[in-house]
Amino acid sequence: MNVPETEQAEDDARVQEMVFAHLRAVGVSDAEQQASAFVERLRVGRVETPPANDARLFGQTVSGLSSLPDQQPLIVARQLIAILRRVRFLDQRTWAPGDALPSPPPAKMADLDWDEWLHQDKAGNGCYRMSAKDRRRNASSTHDYEGVQVWPFLLEGEGPFTEVTSSRR
């Protein structure tokens, strides 16, 4: 994704503003500093990471939010990546932990590192399974990607998710 520098700077400013507002809303005490750090990690990551993979930024963000209690760093980091994707991909829907299942549910969507998940109509509304191609690629993972996952648990464990359209991959 090749974006002119001025447009990138405007997107970064919008991301920082939205991330700051979200962090304040969830009670992060140093929200302004954390929002600045998130955007700086984003800028550095553009050089080191392909645009279709937010896993490294997610990991760094979880570490940066380590002062939050229990599982909150994981959830908040996923929500911040969703904010980024909503700015980055204006024409595609994105969901984060806590978002309701839309109607109709997306047929295909991509997770944090852009593995694709397919809606499983026969298993029930809001049930997804990782694509066969990505299950094979992740076969050596410690996670079990064979089964069907349900919307809220999928968002918390693998999100955020961005809808994949036919022009996407």
Give the mean model confidence (pLDDT) for residues 12-23: 96
Q: What's the pLDDT band for 50 if we cut at 50, 70, 90? A: low
Q: What's the pLDDT band for 169 if we cut at 50, 70, 90? A: very low
The encoded tokens of residue 157 equal: 């464990």
- The residue with tokens 């024409």 is 91
Residue closest to 94 by CA, chosen among 168, 163, 150: 163
* Percent of the chain clearing pLDDT 70 (strictly above): 93
Residue type, 55: A
- Summarised one tens digit per residue, pLDDT across range 73-94 is 999 999 999 999 999 999 999 9
Query: Three-class SS of residue 39?
Result: helix
- The residue with tokens 């992740």 is 138
Q: What's the pLDDT band for 143 if we cut at 50, 70, 90? A: confident
Q: Please state the pTM of the whole predicted model.
A: 0.88
Instruction: Report how far residue 128's alpha carbon sits from residue 110's, in angstroms, rounded to the nearest whole number.
Output: 11
pLDDT at 2 over 70: no
pLDDT at 49 over 80: no
- Residues 40, 84, 71, 128, CA torsion sign: negative
- Summarised one tens digit per residue, pLDDT across range 99-115 is 999 988 999 999 998 99
Residue closest to 110 by CA, chosen among 65, 70, 45, 50: 50
Number of H helices, E strands in the chain: 6, 6
pLDDT at 168 over 50: no
CA R_g for the chain: 16
State residue 142's pLDDT score.
73
